Amino acid sequence: MSRRAREGAQRGADLAGTEVEVEVGPVAHGGHCVARHEGRVLFVRHTAPGERVRARVTEGREGDRFLRADAVEVLQASPHRVEPPCPHARPGRCGGCDWQHVDLAEQRRLKAAVVQEQLRRLAGLERDVVVEAVPGDDGGLGWRTRVTYAVDASGRAGLRRHRSHEVEPISWCRIAAPAVVALGVTDRPWPGTRAVEAVAAASGPALVPSPPGAGPDEVVVERAAGRDWRVAVDGFWQVHPGAAQVLVDAVLEGLAPREGERVLDLFAGVGLFAGALGERVGLTGRVVAVEGDRAAAAHARENLADLAHARVERGDVARVLRREGLRRADLVVLDPPRTGAGREVVAAVAASGARAVAYVACDPAALARDLAWFAERGYALEGLRAFDLFPMTQHVECVAVLRPAG
């Protein structure tokens, strides 16, 4: 018997497939709501707070602290429930969208509640949060400019099912941008291919199968903050067409950069914030962008080449910040991955003496944890904005502005 099988046997019988009737409680981080049955917590997808549903367990065993489940029958519906616009956004099918069954205004209220709960629980902060709409989608649809399609063993393209490697063949993705849909990825077979990257960039559409394909060598051009940005076709760029500009505007508003200031742009990607801030601090200022990914750092150097007072350092952010000459700053931008900046980076930023820090976060739990560490180092949350950059999904982007307390 394998180790996993032994552990499963110790935890008790597999409950997957069991159906229970539950009253649905509050929204939770992760695209589901909390329910309870016979003293056990269920994280239930495809439902909304206040509903009564029949839930089918998808993961969990007797003895587990919690179970995962799907709402397979709605017995008492929320007034915010709507018919999902996509036939694939159903229990057991495509895992890309979490909230298509809820009206858009309520989706944003649910996301705000998640951010508030994470701030309260992990950072001890009470904040009113409003999730703002962003120009560039059509009622929450048609916004995703980068889509990675999975391909099954038969060569059919689709999207992954929730918490699964199984591929859900789809007709077309309702949240994909029209230019992505027009590439016709799901209309033809892809034998011998594991995935297909479809990109609708400012410079035009691109389609890269893997394998075969030369994805890392292919470059597209995006447009934001009055500049062009070279980005690897499989590299990081915000997927909502309005996202890059909205985030730049929020960072500039929060930091209020001045001529001659020293700026650190950490987890800089291809240099978006470094470029915008570099123009504000002028030639008497200094901008250092720090990025770990080799291709992104190379593109950042290209993108910032016209700014003589800007430079790019490639390497692990925490290690780079130990270097002499990078320990002091007036302004800092953090745009870390979903795992957050981490304790060491937070400590280095706080030690820099920055008068203001802008933290761009794609995960409210990681943000709240890091805000608590900032508070330990004497930095307080001054303002926070939240943006609906990923309609129909659980994801929300925040821009937090911190300043030295007192």
Q: Cα 203 to the chain's mean position, in Å? A: 24
| pLDDT value at residue 5 | 57
| pLDDT value at residue 345 | 98
Q: Average pLDDT of 121-142?
A: 98
* CA 240 – CA 193 distance, rounded (Å): 26
Residue 31: pLDDT over 50: yes
Residue 168: pLDDT over 80: yes
86 catalytically annotated: no
Give the domain ranges of the chain: 3-81, 112-136+223-228+239-404, 146-218
Main-chain phi, psi angles of 310, to 5 degrees? -115, 140
Q: Average pLDDT of 258-283?
A: 98
Main-chain phi, psi angles of 380, to 5 degrees? -115, 150
Residue 338: pLDDT over 60: yes
* CA 39 – CA 28 distance, rounded (Å): 18
CA-wise closest residue to 263 among 307, 305, 303: 307
* CA 395 – CA 386 distance, rounded (Å): 11
Q: What are the residues facing 13 on neighbouring strands?
A: none
Residue 212: pLDDT over 70: no
* CA 2 – CA 4 distance, rounded (Å): 5
E strands, 60-191, where?
66-76, 131-132, 146-151, 157-160, 167-169
Count of Cβ atoms closer than 10 Å to residue 54 Cβ: 15
Count of Cβ atoms closer than 10 Å to residue 266 Cβ: 28
Q: Average pLDDT of 126-133?
A: 98
User: What is the chain's Cα-based Rg?
Assistant: 23
Distances (CA, A) of 136 to 58, 98, 210, 274, 288: 35, 20, 29, 24, 31
Q: Average pLDDT of 187-194?
A: 95
| pLDDT value at residue 9 | 56
Residue 215: pLDDT over 60: no
CA-wise closest residue to 133 among 393, 390, 363, 399: 390
Residue 2: pLDDT over 80: no
Rounded to the nearest 10 degrees, the angle between the axes of helix 364-376 and helix 343-351 is: 50
**3-81 and 112-136+223-228+239-404 share one CATH topology?**
no
Q: Average pLDDT of 239-266?
A: 98
Known binder of ligand: residue 390?
Answer: no
| pLDDT value at residue 324 | 81
Name the average pLDDT for the chain. 95
Q: Average pLDDT of 2-28?
A: 83
pLDDT band at residue 3 using 50, 70 and 90 as cut-offs: low
Active-site entry in 33, 97, 362, 398:
362
* CA 4 – CA 398 distance, rounded (Å): 38
**Helix or strand holding residue 344 (H, E):** helix 343-351
Main-chain phi, psi angles of 216, to 5 degrees? -60, -25
Residue 6: pLDDT over 80: no
Tell me the CATH class for 3-81.
mainly beta
17 burial class (0-12, 13-18, 19+ CB within 10 angstroms)?
exposed
pTM of the model: 0.94
Residue 165: pLDDT over 90: yes
Cβ–Cβ under 8 Å, residues 43 and 29:
no
| pLDDT value at residue 356 | 98
Cβ–Cβ under 8 Å, residues 166 and 160:
yes
Phi-psi domain of 403 (left: phi exceeds 0; alpha: psi -120 through 50; beta: other): beta
- Check residues 363 and 2 and name the one with the higher pLDDT: 363
CA angle 345, 347, 351 (to 5 degrees): 115
Cis peptide, bond prior to residue 26, ω within 30 of zero: no
* CA 282 – CA 308 distance, rounded (Å): 10
pLDDT digits (tens, 9 = 90+) for 70-104: 999 999 999 999 999 999 999 999 999 999 999 99
* CA 55 – CA 18 distance, rounded (Å): 8
Using the 8-state DSSP alphabet, how is residue 233 labeled? T
Domain made up of 112-136+223-228+239-404: CATH architecture: 3-Layer(aba) Sandwich (3.40)
Per residue in 99-112, is it b (16+ CB within 10 Å) or e — as a string?
Answer: bbbbbbebbbbbbb
| pLDDT value at residue 214 | 43
Dihedral over Cα of 124, 128, 134, 138: its sign: positive
Residue 406: pLDDT over 80: no
pLDDT digits (tens, 9 = 90+) for 32-77: 999 999 999 999 999 999 999 999 999 999 999 999 999 999 999 9
Distances (CA, A) of 15 to 39, 47, 59, 66, 227: 15, 20, 7, 11, 54
Known binder of ligand: residue 335?
Answer: yes
